[in-house]
Amino acid sequence: MVRSDNKPAIGILGGTFDPVHFGHLRTGLDVVEQLELAQLRLVPCAMPAHRDNPSATAQERRLMLELAIKNHPKLMVDDRELLREGPSYTVDTLESLREDYPENPLFLLMGTDTFSQLTTWSRWTQILPLAHIVVMRRADEPWMLSNQLSEFYEQNLASEDDASLKAGKVWSFPVTQMGISATAIRDRLLRGDDVRYLLPDAVISLIEQLHLYRAKTASS
Ligand code: ATP
């Protein structure tokens, strides 16, 4: 990757992180390496715009993230969505990041499942002027895009030289295939099954300590 600018490139990975797992962390790190990002900011959403409310509270999800990335020099938790009222719209987050980092290349990371929903997002056409989009592609994953999104993808596809631009291109990188989802982890915990090696041990300990994702008993 050739980057002629001297402003560090910043990655952003938004999500519910309910809970954070190795599927988020390893794939995020794959992109950090491939794009030589200076940092990856993990941004937990307060109230997701496109799904049911999370099981764990915002503070619990933030704490799990902090434990998960502890001591990694390039990963950090960015809690700006938790400090904002109302639904968490990515475009608002990017506007706020752009104010903080006016000259840095910003890269918004997302899985293919998330990218395929992009046209349903609030003010989605305003995202690319604020940041690059990086689609994390998992081998063998179906890549089904609407005509509108295929066109958007083709028209804005990046070439390697575009890495020093501040925003405006769509990138697609193969990442480590990890068939892990937070939904599957919550389901396992609800059944009382073992979740080791799906997420960091420190996060599992906190889940146990706070009795998260357990079946509700009559008294709870
Ligand atoms: P849930 O199962 O509750 O929907 P999730 O595991 O998909 O959650 P999110 O917090 O919703 O996690 O995802 C945040 C981002 O991480 C999304 O862009 C999603 O596409 C991506 N992502 C989640 N799991 C993986 C994975 N195993 N590999 C690559 N990307 C992932």
> Separation of 25 CA from ligand 1 center, angstroms?
10
| Contact 23 CB / ligand 1 (< 6 Å) | yes
pLDDT tens digit string along 41-54?
999 998 766 666 67
Is pTM beyond 0.75? Reply is yes
- CATH code for the domain in which residue 106 is found: 3.40.50.620
Mean pLDDT computed over 63-68: 98
- In the sheet that holds 39-44, the strands lie side by side as 75-77, 39-44, 10-15, 106-111, 132-138, 170-175
pLDDT tens digit string along 171-208?
999 999 888 999 999 999 999 999 999 999 999 999 99
Mean predicted lDDT score pLDDT of the chain = 91
Residue 118 included in any domain: yes
Mean pLDDT computed over 129-156: 91
Model confidence at 210: pLDDT above 70: yes
Residue 211 included in any domain: no
Residue 184 included in any domain: no
Q: Which pLDDT score, from 0 to 100, does residue 142 have?
A: 77
> 151: burial class by Cβ within 10 Å (0-12, 13-18, 19+)?
exposed
Closest-CA residue, ligand 1 atom 28, reads: 23
Report how many domains make up the chain: 1
CA distance linking residue 147 with residue 18, whole number of Å: 32
Residue 138 included in any domain: yes
> Separation of 6 CA from ligand 1 center, angstroms?
31
In this prediction, residue 5 has a pLDDT band, given cuts at 50, 70 and 90, of low
State which residues form the domain around 68: 10-178
Residue 104 included in any domain: yes
Residue 210 included in any domain: no
Q: Which pLDDT score, from 0 to 100, does residue 3 have?
A: 62
Q: Which of 16, 30, 118, 198 to mutate to test the pocket of ligand 1 (most atoms within 8 A of CB)?
A: 16
pLDDT tens digit string along 91-142?
999 999 999 999 999 999 999 989 999 999 999 999 999 999 999 998 777 7
Q: Which atom of ligand 1 is nearest to the CA of 18?
A: 3
Mean pLDDT computed over 7-17: 96
> What sign does the dihedral 97-89-62-138 (CA atoms) show?
negative
Residue 96 included in any domain: yes
Q: Which pLDDT score, from 0 to 100, does residue 220 have?
A: 46
